[in-house]
Chains A and B, each alone.
Chain A
């Protein structure tokens, strides 16, 4: 891991965390609130690092702004840059796509200052402070009742596990549409099952999820179960005929020649 011992702490990746409130200075901030604020911020960074399999040094408190209750937290490791960037993204998106531990960490950071004011997070980018974000509570998923969960037939055309956005399986439905289904990060068996069904026809049972501030583009499905499809292949000849039409465009091929090549 690339340590940054030779640089000044102000060059280390980090962020400023503050509690915004009228006339609030460090002297007026109860110690317990300060401790919880710093711990919550540290926890968020740790959870994101954990999700990426990265081990980082704990953030250090490198500066204190006296005019307001603002604290500089820096990490003595350049590889922490993408981690703090991700922390900012999660705060900005209200941990919408995050795993449960990260969602809990964002909520804890929000709650840390809620009795006094609003928690403010500002990232340091190339030594300069970026636009501040106020930490809001994570967007809660509102699963629809199980009895309106949908069952869909399709072919598994992609499995994305351990990404920043969690684990997803991509299905190609019969009308050619591609659909991403989210998998619960704590379900360790489902991604493996989806991977072994790659390029196979499956029946996916999914739950339609929505969020408090849902827009159509945000609507998504959470995969509950996956099993091999036993549906008939009545479209087989249709697909073959379509393939033949797509292919025959320019070249006339004699089956006799082609079949002979197989035996050569």
Chain B
């Protein structure tokens, strides 16, 4: 059985857009886009790739783009969409309890966002990798659910296995 990898919203956004101008941010995102495409082109040979249902929801936008986005969301149905079911809801409930307790003072409950639901989907569906270009709090949520086997994979900045973690020493003066 091939392992399952879930794609997060940032990855899909990069895949579905293209460089619009020469600003530094767009150039950097274009670099990430190339890394994502290369990584997924390679991964699709040996991994099952899926999109969590909550990611389809997170793709929503307002304005003209929102209306256009309906077409895109329909197309997403052709891909493997990993459902957010009862099992995932139970995992999310555990994660949310911890995240709510540890949230910064004054932060709303809404601070518990899609990334938690994506992590819960990964744990419930026994995915072993989340592919993202915006790791945010993924690791923290996964550790809450005691899911160390789920790797958070950033195509533009992959961790090298076996790499020594060198301590950074601030320059003197």
Instruction: Report A's interface with B, CB cutoff 8 A.
Output: 155, 157, 172, 198-201, 230, 232-234, 236-237, 239-240, 242-244, 246-256, 258-259, 261-263
B75 in contact with A233 (CB, 8 Å): no
A258 in contact with B26 (CB, 8 Å): no
Alpha-carbon separation in the docked complex, A226 to B64 (Å) = 42
Chain A to chain B contacts (Cβ below 8 Å), 24 pairs: A232-B2, A232-B45, A233-B49, A234-B45, A236-B40, A236-B49, A237-B40, A240-B79, A243-B72, A243-B75, A244-B72, A247-B68, A247-B69, A247-B71, A247-B75, A249-B68, A251-B64, A254-B21, A255-B14, A255-B26, A256-B29, A261-B61, A262-B58, A263-B134
A255 in contact with B13 (CB, 8 Å): yes
Tell me which residues from 53 to 73 in chain B have a Cβ below 8 Å from any Cβ of chain A: 58, 61, 64-65, 68-69, 71-72
Alpha-carbon separation in the docked complex, A256 to B29 (Å) = 7
Alpha-carbon separation in the docked complex, A237 to B79 (Å) = 10
Among A198, A201, A243, contact of B16 (Cβ-Cβ < 8 Å): A243
B65 in contact with A255 (CB, 8 Å): no
B9 within 8 Å of A (CB atoms): yes
User: Given contacts A233-B49, A256-B23, is CB(A200)–CB(B41) below 8 Å?
Assistant: no
Q: For residue B33, which residue of chain A has the nearest CB?
A: A255
Alpha-carbon separation in the docked complex, A37 to B83 (Å) = 53
Q: For residue B114, which residue of chain A has the nearest CB?
A: A262
B89 within 8 Å of A (CB atoms): no
Alpha-carbon separation in the docked complex, A258 to B20 (Å) = 12
Q: How many contacts A-B (CB < 8 Å)?
A: 107
Residues of A within 8 A of B47 (CB): 233
Residues of B within 8 A of A157 (CB): 77
Residues of A within 8 A of B41 (CB): 237
State the interface size on chain B (CB cutoff 8 A). Answer: 48
Residues of B within 8 A of A261 (CB): 61
Alpha-carbon separation in the docked complex, A198 to B136 (Å) = 31
Q: For residue A261, which residue of chain B has the nearest CB?
A: B61
Residues of A within 8 A of B75 (CB): 239, 242-243, 246-247
Alpha-carbon separation in the docked complex, A233 to B46 (Å) = 8
User: Given contacts A230-B1, A237-B40, A246-B72, is CB(A255)–CB(B45) below 8 Å?
Assistant: no
Return B128 CB to nearest CB of chain A, in Å. 15
Among B9, B33, B65, B81, contact of A199 (Cβ-Cβ < 8 Å): B81
Alpha-carbon separation in the docked complex, A248 to B23 (Å) = 20
B76 in contact with A256 (CB, 8 Å): no
Instruction: Report B's interface with A, CB cutoff 8 A.
Output: 1-2, 9-10, 12-21, 23, 25-26, 29, 33, 37, 40-41, 44-49, 58, 61, 64-65, 68-69, 71-72, 75-81, 83, 114, 133-134, 136
Among B10, B21, B40, B48, contact of A259 (Cβ-Cβ < 8 Å): B10
Among B1, B17, B48, B81, contact of A255 (Cβ-Cβ < 8 Å): B17
B16 in contact with A230 (CB, 8 Å): no
Among A251, A252, A259, contact of B29 (Cβ-Cβ < 8 Å): A259
Return B66 CB to nearest CB of chain A, in Å. 9
Alpha-carbon separation in the docked complex, A131 to B173 (Å) = 103
B48 in contact with A256 (CB, 8 Å): no
Residues of A within 8 A of B80 (CB): 155, 199-201, 233
B20 in contact with A254 (CB, 8 Å): yes
Q: For residue B16, which residue of chain A has the nearest CB?
A: A244
- The CB with the most chain B CB atoms within 10 A, among A230, A253, A255, is that of A255
Residues of A within 8 A of B21 (CB): 254
Return A187 CB to nearest CB of chain B, in Å. 24
Alpha-carbon separation in the docked complex, A157 to B40 (Å) = 25
User: Given contacts A247-B71, A255-B29, is CB(A199)–CB(B40) below 8 Å?
Assistant: no
